[in-house]
Structure 1
Amino acid sequence: MRHLPHLRLFLLLLTALSSAFSHAAAVEGNWITIDDRDGSRKSIVQLEVDNTGELSGTITELLRKEAKGSLCEKCPDDFKDKPLKGLTFMWGLTREAEGEWAGGSILDPKTGKIYKAKLELNEGGNSLTVRGFIGISLFGRSQTWERYTP
């Protein structure tokens, strides 16, 4: 019985740690990108957190027929003329709070422009608000992505 307070403390710490890891991982996985202008589905992207805690996003599938086989023609430098499928277009985001990531960059393959990025996992974890902006978040555009389930 003497060890009961220690056991409770251990279980509390274990719960807190598993909660922290699950929230970091909650954003990981496959997401369907939705065009913020016409509401159509554009692609499937995979979000991953690396061993340094940075989140990145890679296009794994293009959903529009006309986009299949497309290259990043307007993209700068190392992105120039790379296939869109397999392109890491979002990188460097770090966890700010539960379900919130910021401090990274996002490439718009359509225009070739790179923006600051932040994202927020929405209630229930089945949608994600992704915002690209210049300078401050006020000057930008948001998209809501849906969690992909095959």
Structure 2
Amino acid sequence: MLRLSIALSALLFSQLSFAAMTPVGLWKTIDEETNEAKSLVRISEQDGVLVGSVEKILNPAKQDAICEKCKGDKKNQPILGLQIIEGAKDAGDGSWQEGEILDPNNGKTYTLKLTPQEQGKVLEVRGYIAFFYRNQYWQRVE
């Protein structure tokens, strides 16, 4: 009975630590230039790929901001609720890649790489075009 209890505890712990090491969840975005918290983004899995939408804008003065510089169907859409992460897939090496991330401030779309760090408490978000990239380090909220 003791062995069964230990085995079940180990299984539960491994599942919890795996869940913490995925990008799925709610994240506080941190601007890489100002180091200020900007928004909350919820990342979820849909059909085997990750998507992420702006769930909350932290600056009260920007609650009604729209994506003026975006292209296509996202142009002039409210940033609150906007899907900014699309198509990231598990690369099998602890990162999620092949997706895209939209910067609603400049309307640019970047190739995306998401890498959970610090036991899943921090998410390295890398957006890149060719050899040029930007990193942000988001903080897990839940």
Structure 1 position 59 matched with structure 2 position 51: no
Structure 2's unaligned 5+ residue stretches are: 1-6
Percent of residue pairs identical: 37
Which of the residues 139, 142, 145 maps onto 2:135?
142
For the residues of structure 1 that align with 2:81 and 2:112, how far apart are their CA atoms? 20
For the residues of structure 1 that align with 2:43 and 2:88, how far apart are their CA atoms? 11
Larger Rg: 1
Counterpart amino acid of 2:40?
Answer: I
Q: Which has the higher contact order (CA 8 A, sep 6+)?
A: 2
Structure 1's unaligned 5+ residue stretches are: 1-10
CA-to-aligned-CA distance 1:84-126 (integer Å, 9 cap, x gap): 0000011000001253100000111001111101110002110
Match of 1:75 in 2: 70
Change (3 A) 1:25 1:86: farther
Residue correspondences, number:
133
Counterpart amino acid of 2:133?
Answer: G
Please identify runs of 4+ aligned residues in structure 1 that moved more than 2 A: 21-26
For the residues of structure 2 that align with 1:96 and 1:23, how far apart are their CA atoms? 16
Over the aligned positions, Cα root-mean-square deviation in angstroms equals: 2.4
Match of 1:40 in 2: 36
TM-score (norm 1): 0.80
